[in-house]
Amino acid sequence: MSRIEDVFRRSLASGSAVLIGYLTAGDPRQEYTVRFAETLLEGGVDILELGAPFSDPVADGVTIQASSQRALAAGTTLRDTIKLTAEIKKRHEAPIVILSYLNPIHRMEFRRFFQEAGAAGVDGVVVPDLPVEESSSFREEAQRAGVNTIFLASPTTSESRLDKILKASKGFVYLVSLLGVTGVRRDVSPEALRLLERVKARRERPYAAVGFGVSTPDHVSLLVRSGAEGVIVGSALVRIVEENLNNPEDCAERLGSLAIRLKEAARF
């Protein structure tokens, strides 16, 4: 059992879905990332998702796109994201998942990337633009390094492709709640609930976590009542960073406050 699976198992047994919180590594400065991550973990985030900044994050909306630009301007790279993971791991045992687009990983080469990621304590990797059909060598290197591969499924994913994604996903599967990019939304889409039902109907599958547009405690509560085993909150957290670029202490306080409320809403 991986560390990610163990967190799901223990959290669900205690009456709570898993709360996964996203930050863009190096936004607005690398030294802030560790502080913000600690605040989220202390506030109740069970799994931290660190986004490696990329110049063309096609799955992300304007909030996370802007955070990537700030992190890139600060000189943050994929390797820096791995190093930040190692720094956070010195203080916290919570699993950390890196989200990266394929190009930076491909430039490092899969084997080297997973060797460095595994050594730093990275528990899982999400690559939004890697098709599951072309992922065999990627998954082989991940398995060798003991890193979970987490794939995304959307409301338009066919039944046959959904089966492939569930088989290839280790730790959890990332369910995209809507058609479009990341970003704060007013409501949880009906498509998200239907996708969740489709996944949970499978007898053999990883844990199911829902992201994209999950922004408020009410969203979290609705998804948990609908059977989500995990919820992923990104843009709402990154927006707090954006609103407090010159006030890291205020930013950390607001991040921690939201994490507490989101975790409370994750109880069932």
Which two structure tokens, joined as six digits, stand for 211? 């992201």
Neighbours of 40 (CB within 10 A): 27
Active site residue 163: no
DSSP string, 148-191: EEE-EE-TT--HHHHHHHHHH--SEEEEE-SSS-----SS--HH
- Say if CB 110 and CB 137 are below 8 A apart: yes
Which two structure tokens, joined as six digits, stand for 214? 């999950």
- Say if CB 137 and CB 111 are below 8 A apart: no
Residue 18: its H or E element = strand 18-24
Which two structure tokens, joined as six digits, stand for 190? 């009906």
List 46, 60, 80, 123, catalytic entry: 60
Q: Can you tell me the distance from the alpha carbon of 158 to that of 264, in angstroms, rounded to the nearest whole number? A: 34
Q: Can you tell me the distance from the alpha carbon of 135 to that of 138, in angstroms, rounded to the nearest whole number? A: 5
Closest CA to 110 of 149, 59, 65: 149
Active site residue 49: yes
How buried is 180 (Cβ within 10 angstroms: 0-12 exposed, 13-18 middle, 19+ buried)? middle
List 38, 49, 141, 229, catalytic entry: 49
Distances (CA, A) of 119 to 63, 116, 262: 31, 5, 31
Q: What are the catalytic residues? A: 49, 60
